[in-house]
Structure 1
Amino acid sequence: MTESGKVGSGKAGAGTDEARGAFGADEARGALDAAVEHLRGRQHQDGWWKGELATNVTMDAEDLMLRTFLGISTPRTNEETARWIRSQQRADGSWATFHGGPGDLSTTVEAWVALRLAGDQPEEPHLRKAAAFVRSEGGVERARVFTHIWLALFGLWSWDDCPSLPPELMYLPPWAPLNIYNWGCWARQTIVPLTIVSALEPVHPVGFDIADLQTGESPPPRQSAYSVGGFFQRLDPLLHAYRRHPLKGLRRPAMRRAAEWILARQEADGGWGGIQPPWVYSLIALNLMGYQLDHPAMRAGIAGLDGFTIQADSPAGPVRWLEACQSPVWDTGLALDALLEAGVPADDPAVLKATDWLLDEQILADGDWQVRRPHLPPGGWAFEFANDNYPDTDDTAEIVLGLRKVKHPDPDRLRKAIDRAVTWTTGMQSRDGGWGAFDADNIHTLANALPFCDFGAVIDPPSADVTAHVVEMLAAEGRADEEPCRRGLRWLFDAQEPDGSWFGRWGANHVYGTGAVVPALVAAGVSRDLPPIRAAVRWLETHQNADGGWGEDLRSYVDPAWIGRGESTPSQTAWALLALLAAGEDSESVDRGIEHLVRTQRPDGGWDEELYTGTGFPGDFYISYEIYRLVFPIWALGRYVARDAR
């Protein structure tokens, strides 16, 4: 947990806006040295870094519900989880999906149900306030499909009112519409187990109801029968009818095929995809298919979830919460890049330990990405400790950018790893010239129209931030003039917003996208004087806050009024600075941004950042990466200090 309110590095001289005139390179160097020392102190003895990954209480509520459904909950885990959920409730009775954000209907419904399962009574003030919020937002009737599924598992919602998802989807070949490989990898791994759950419609009765959350409102009207969404809405009753009378020669083998698919993708840590949603639904699906709790797959899955939990003390007693994911490979790649950008020697022991750990983590096995690229040899990195089925281009590009600067005692080993990674990443380019994160050409939007898909992004099309990272990596490798890089550049030019910014898919939001694209364009040889870069510079300077920093509220994904607007954060300030420095700016905006980082640094060399700056699903699911508030300011300070030293 961060220590909020602590500002002012002991090495920073400027404490107020009026003191800016006293700011200089010595203060920036002092702040950089303190931050590097802090980052060094956080490295694990095996060479990796891993910051806490925070999301929202949906993860904790669903963990408690999963354990209740499987019969493995205990009074201790229930109470510790319940304390955590209660501690995150907002004054209006709701729970939000990110720090400082508005209350969210579905998150509040799931939190309410989890607390009831833990023994809280509906007449208690916190649950009364939560129920009132739910009703004010249209009631449980307006909650998302996934929330309705969790309610149906406990007999609190009718399965007839949940969209049907037939396991016969498993028979569709990769070229067919709605086959599982047209979904993004995170959605694919979630949908497959849910086909089993949807087919069996299990119910684990509980001793309460959800009348307090209901308004009795009618469902929203159907979409036009002539729209794709309207067609699927009218198809859903037929799928429900088929569920009651399926062709046994199709359904049972389809369910077995789904279960085998799930088992084949269980990772070494017991999980699926290294993320919570497919993990919990896979455990439920396998259990429904007859895999008992003592089966090795079930034991490993449950034990792995335990490894994703964080326990701490609070004034109310011990609390327990679940990380939706863990990001050690990503964090280590960024930390390695940051150290090298800060001027740490390329053969420094910390650099070499991180390098050796990353080299061991390179994935040389097959994965789902080969469905679209069957002849491409492996060579990427994943995000997590264990996710060999799903390496991603974003991690791989950032890791290569760091590894190529390392002075390693075995340069041949290092070079071979980099070459494999570059070959794999280049081969994952989509036909339109951009790069998605996990798959190539994952652009089919038909799945978005399904009644089932109201839970965020379900496909993985190319994005500006990922494409920029790959382009920058290719340019660093001397491949800027080769066709893949040139096609990536054209994609980025086409993706620029009319205001001069770029949309950020995996980070918040236009500040992140712009902070990624401008350095990539410059690295690839684009003139700093060209209109796309000048427009980006103007956009960043226009959106600088009065305190010298930058921030963009996550509501910008759903409300354009928030684009480029928000409270300053260390990571977003650093992203903006990286773009401005790459664009060759030697301006007051840069100096004020650097001063903001220096002035807000903690005495221990780190920074506080309560606001979330990571994105899981734009508009629906957000992430706070603890490591961001440290590595990106180091990166920006390092480039600033290096520029002034030249």
Structure 2
Amino acid sequence: MLDALTPNTLEDCIERAGAWLEGVRQPDGHLVFELESDVTIPSEYVLLMHYLDEIDDGLAAEIGRYIRRIQADHGGWALYHDGAFDISASVKAYFALKAIGDAPDAPHMMRAREAILAAGGAAKTNVFTRFQLALFGFVPWRATPAMPVELVLLPATAPFSIWKVSYWSRTVTVPLLVLAALRPSARNPRGVRIDELFVVPPEQVRDWHSRSVLGDNWKGRGFRAIDAMLRPAEKLIPRATRQKAIDAAVAFVTERLNGVDGLGAIYPAMANSVMMFDALGVAADDPRAATARESLRRLLVRHETPDGVETYCQPCVSPVWDTALAGHAVLERAQEAGGRTVGEAPAAVGAANEWLLGREVRVRGDWSVAAPDLAPGGWAFQYRNDHYPDVDDTAVVGMLMHRSGDPATAAAVERARVWILGMQSANGGWGAFDIDNNTDFLNYVPFADHGALLDPPTADVTARCISFLCQLGHAEDRPSIERGLAWLRSEQEADGAWFGRWGTNYIYGTWSVLCALNAAGLASDDPAVVRAADWLVSVQNEDGGWGEGQESYDAGGPRGTYRCSLPSQTAWAVLGLMAAGRVRDEAVSRGVAWLAAHQTEAGSWDEPQHNAVGFPRVFYLRYHGYRHYFPLMALSRFRNLSASNSARVGWGF
């Protein structure tokens, strides 16, 4: 394989990958790839149609094809490609298929039901699923945690308030608090029921049984005791106070509806806002309700298949992220090709930068509650999500614009720099959306059984911020950079890797940090760099590639390994090793050869596996773009560094 990878072969791989990527660029210069999660989101879309009595049978049939196709051999549904049975995902999928019209005695339904019952039945589902079951009247509301809507009235300084939790938790929870207060019932016009999924009669389910993924300990038990006290106490809340809280929640949602991009620009929040307006009696054609419904429809993805049209619903979209990352790959490709340099950025990058400039966030979002004096400047993940820009997207876009050298972007890059500096947490790290959002005990409240209520600093996001600041090279930023580097050193695992919060997993985290250490000027023989690079080499597969499964997020799960090599993770490992100064190591050459050997005829790569994470152990993501632009970036950088006298990358990313 290595002998066949001649410079001409490598150049051909790069050019074909670049041509493929340019072929999917939108006319206005941006790129957006599919973002797939698991069966829960498309299942919830079907159930929402039945909740509202707005059933589109044709669309439901298309979603049904998707749900049936991804049913696993174990009979149920998993949270990621080839994953283990998940009770909550399986209950929602079964419910959706039954609502679509699948007969309970159909073989696939029988297999699913047997798997669900063997796992303890629908009473064992997580909190979000239990709320769905309560809305349909399948379980009493006592089967869900107590969630008084009066929480929205608490100030940011209160021990527990909506300002103490992450953006995603905030936007999902606020409309759900209204639903919990009003306790509406789904219209369910066809009377679909799933009593057969309960081991005990649903009406006898007296308490919720979920436990935080963080474990069952004194914190969790303490909050469950508080939960038990809140239930009778809620009855004593004055009616005027409750109405004031509902009004405050509605005002919160209305201010952040975000047009056709939706509340928080994420499906659960958007769906909850639709149900909230419906429960309040807001007509479907009211601009608020109509726009909220449209935001959901825009998440649908349709594909022609041999069995007919198949549709699924994305959890959100990722155009800013995709456009910026693809831009870095395009710049890397152009660095030497045809005698061009990154100082003569391709026209495609100029168009992407122009598109990105139009999406710069210039308003104060929720982050300003903790930083009222900080000027806005940055980018969100989606088309629009102005209340919730994130430092990860901001750093990646900022590095692209700075590297492109376009004077028209200089002011936006400077605003991004100031904003990122102001978003640094006290411990030196960066969270994605908020500052010091790390009140750990809140992850044990009954509602937070997913264990991801917060947005604390993470290694991958911190690395991106450091890379950006180092690339800009302002001497006055060095103290912030040094605090970030110290935090990263403290987070390095014993084996040399770093945890990947937003991408799978230790390969992603380790690559991200090695880029930051390179940008910060750490020598390749720095102990942290050596240990990280040695770890990447130690988990390389025999075929020369790398792969890591979502099982790495499980306690004691395997790190940096999977049953086969994957394009995105092979690219990350190669990029990480090159950032560590090992461009001429055999491990890098073998990784590059693996990427070249597995490129498709069309110029891209295949990767059905999930490659990122929403909430570790609970919600995983498959970025369809990762298998395209990261291999292009890795191959191009390898070519460029191999022809250089320097082993240093020279850029933050």
What corresponds to 1:299 in structure 2? 290
What corresponds to 1:10 in structure 2? none
Query: Following superposition of structure 1 onto structure 2, how do residues 171-570 of structure 1 map, counting pairs within 5 Å?
Result: 171-204=153-186, 206=188, 207-216=191-200, 227-343=218-334, 345=340, 346-408=344-406, 411=407, 413-479=408-474, 482-566=478-562, 567-570=564-567
Structure 1 residues 615, 588: closer, same or farther in 2, change over 3 A? same
**C-alpha separation between the residues in 1 aligned to 2:541 and 2:7?**
22
**C-alpha separation between the residues in 2 aligned to 1:232 and 1:316?**
49
**C-alpha separation between the residues in 1 aligned to 2:404 and 2:536?**
32
CA shift for structure 1 position 560: 2.8
Range that drifts further, 210-219 or 517-526: 210-219
**C-alpha separation between the residues in 2 aligned to 1:587 and 1:557?**
29
Range that drifts further, 303-312 or 418-427: 303-312
Whether the 8 Å contact between 2:37 and 2:315 is mirrored in structure 1 is yes
1:99 aligned to 2:86? no
CA shift for structure 1 position 270: 4.8
Equivalent AA in structure 1 for residue 358 of structure 2: D
What corresponds to 2:579 in structure 1? 582
**Structure 2 residues without counterparts, runs of 5 or longer:** 645-653
Cα RMSD of the aligned pairs, angstroms, is 1.9
**C-alpha separation between the residues in 2 aligned to 1:220 and 1:455?**
13
Range that drifts further, 273-282 or 235-244: 235-244
**Identical counterparts, % of pairs:** 38
**C-alpha separation between the residues in 2 aligned to 1:141 and 1:383?**
35
CA shift for structure 1 position 401: 1.1
Whether the 8 Å contact between 1:25 and 1:644 is mirrored in structure 2 is no
Structure with the bigger RCO (C-alpha within 8 Å, sep 6+) is 1
What corresponds to 1:79 in structure 2? 61
Whether the 8 Å contact between 1:609 and 1:629 is mirrored in structure 2 is yes
Q: CA offsets, 1:252-307, max 9 Å, x none?
A: 11011101100000102251111101010111112212212111011011112111
CA shift for structure 1 position 225: 12
What corresponds to 2:648 in structure 1? none
**C-alpha separation between the residues in 1 aligned to 2:552 and 2:210?**
28
Q: CA offsets, 1:156-208, max 9 Å, x none?
A: 11111111111110111101111101111001101111111111112226534
What corresponds to 1:13 in structure 2? none
Equivalent AA in structure 2 for residue 43 of structure 1: R
Structure 1 moving runs of 4+ over 6 Å: 221-226
Whether the 8 Å contact between 2:211 and 2:446 is mirrored in structure 1 is no
Whether the 8 Å contact between 2:123 and 2:209 is mirrored in structure 1 is no
**C-alpha separation between the residues in 2 aligned to 1:337 and 1:84?**
33
**C-alpha separation between the residues in 2 aligned to 1:472 and 1:449?**
34
Residue of 598, 601, 610 corresponding to 1:600: 598
**C-alpha separation between the residues in 1 aligned to 2:261 and 2:391?**
24
Whether the 8 Å contact between 2:50 and 2:187 is mirrored in structure 1 is no
**C-alpha separation between the residues in 2 aligned to 1:270 and 1:465?**
26
Q: CA offsets, 1:311-353, max 9 Å, x none?
A: 2233333222111110000000001111111125533211110
What corresponds to 1:109 in structure 2? 91
What corresponds to 2:650 in structure 1? none
What corresponds to 1:126 in structure 2? 108
Equivalent AA in structure 2 for residue 273 of structure 1: G
Question: Alignment partner of 1:405: what SS?
Answer: helix
Equivalent AA in structure 1 for residue 566 of structure 2: T
Question: Alignment partner of 1:561: what SS?
Answer: coil
CA shift for structure 1 position 219: 6.9
**C-alpha separation between the residues in 1 aligned to 2:573 and 2:505?**
11
Q: CA offsets, 1:561-580, max 9 Å, x none?
A: 32111121111001111111
CA shift for structure 1 position 456: 4.3
**C-alpha separation between the residues in 2 aligned to 1:105 and 1:221?**
11
1:34 aligned to 2:45? no
Whether the 8 Å contact between 2:171 and 2:264 is mirrored in structure 1 is yes
**C-alpha separation between the residues in 2 aligned to 1:110 and 1:636?**
39
**Structure 1 residues without counterparts, runs of 5 or longer:** 1-18
**C-alpha separation between the residues in 1 aligned to 2:97 and 2:446?**
28
**C-alpha separation between the residues in 2 aligned to 1:588 and 1:360?**
43
Q: CA offsets, 1:331-390, max 9 Å, x none?
A: 000011111111255332111101111111111111001011111111110000011110
**C-alpha separation between the residues in 1 aligned to 2:456 and 2:415?**
23
**C-alpha separation between the residues in 1 aligned to 2:473 and 2:498?**
25
Question: Alignment partner of 2:311: what SS?
Answer: strand
CA shift for structure 1 position 247: 1.4
Question: How many residues are aligned here?
Answer: 625
What corresponds to 1:140 in structure 2? 122
Range that drifts further, 287-296 or 217-226: 217-226
CA shift for structure 1 position 547: 1.0
Equivalent AA in structure 1 for residue 473 of structure 2: G
**C-alpha separation between the residues in 2 aligned to 1:112 and 1:555?**
24
Structure 1 residues 458, 419: closer, same or farther in 2, change over 3 A? same
CA shift for structure 1 position 131: 0.8
1:633 aligned to 2:628? no
Whether the 8 Å contact between 1:52 and 1:625 is mirrored in structure 2 is yes
Q: CA offsets, 1:91-146, max 9 Å, x none?
A: 22211111121121100000111112112221221111111111121211211011
Range that drifts further, 264-273 or 534-543: 264-273
**C-alpha separation between the residues in 1 aligned to 2:353 and 2:142?**
53
